[in-house]
Homo-oligomer: A and B are copies of this chain.
Amino acid sequence: MKLPTSTEWVLHCATTLAQLEPGATASAKQLAEYYDLPAPYLAKQLQALVRAGVLAATTGPRGGFRLARPATGITLLQLVEAVDGAAPPYECREIRQQGRGALPPEDCRDTCILARKMGEAHDVWRRHLDGTTVADIIAELPPTVPARTRSRMASTGGR
């Protein structure tokens, strides 16, 4: 059970985008240089965020990515599931109904208890990540960080 490496990338990129002035954009190349990441692959992940409706992309010069919503409406869960998918990690294949020990259908009315427990654990995981927004993250950063982020990001793009 491993999350893609790119999960960390998009979490930080979204945090960075949220620190820019409203309406400002940052290109994939800018963000890649900002964190020393492979630009083409990072772009692929940002596209996934666009498909998920978390980011908005504009093409052409001065284009790039920006948040599709205010940072208060973007949770960590939305970012994680945009790159990793929303499929639960535990997949019940109903082996209790197969083989010599197959249970009769009347004992399988309810979902398998093991599957339910695993699903509940996944739910509490999701709820925890869904309870934190990008705005909450920024609020906990040292107060000097956002201004510096804007400054450095602007100088990169030759703005």
| Closest B residue, CB atoms, query A134 | B114
What 1/0 mask marks residues of chain A from 80 to 112 whose CB sits below 8 Å from any chain B CB? 000010010111110110111101000100000
> Which residue from B1, B100, B128 sits with its C-beta under 8 Å from A3?
B1
Judge if A12 is at the interface, Cβ distance under 8 Å. yes
CB < 8 Å neighbour of A137 from B84, B113, B137, B145: B113
Chain B residue contacts of A118, Cβ below 8 A = 76, 129
Write the A105-133 contact mask toward B (1 if CB under 8 angstroms, else 0): 00100000110011011101100110010
The answer to whether B137 touches A129 (Cβ under 8 A) is no
Q: How far is A120 from B142 in the complex, measured between Cα atoms in Å?
A: 21
Number of copies: 2
Q: When the two chains form the complex, which single residue of B84, B100, B141 contacts A156, counting CB atoms closer than 8 Å?
A: B100
In the complex, A41 has a CB within 8 A of chain B: no
Which range holds the interface residue count of chain A? Answer: 35 or more
Q: How far is the CA of A11 from the CA of B35 in the complex (A)?
A: 41
Query: Are B3 and A99 in contact, CB atoms less than 8 angstroms apart?
Result: no
- Closest beta carbon of chain B to A139's beta carbon, Å: 10
A152 interface residue per 8 A CB criterion = yes
- Check if A89 sits within 8 Å of B12, measured CB to CB: no
- For this complex, 12 residue pairs linking A to B, each with C-beta atoms less than 8 Å apart, are A2-B89, A7-B90, A8-B92, A12-B96, A12-B114, A35-B96, A36-B98, A37-B99, A101-B153, A121-B125, A124-B124, A125-B125
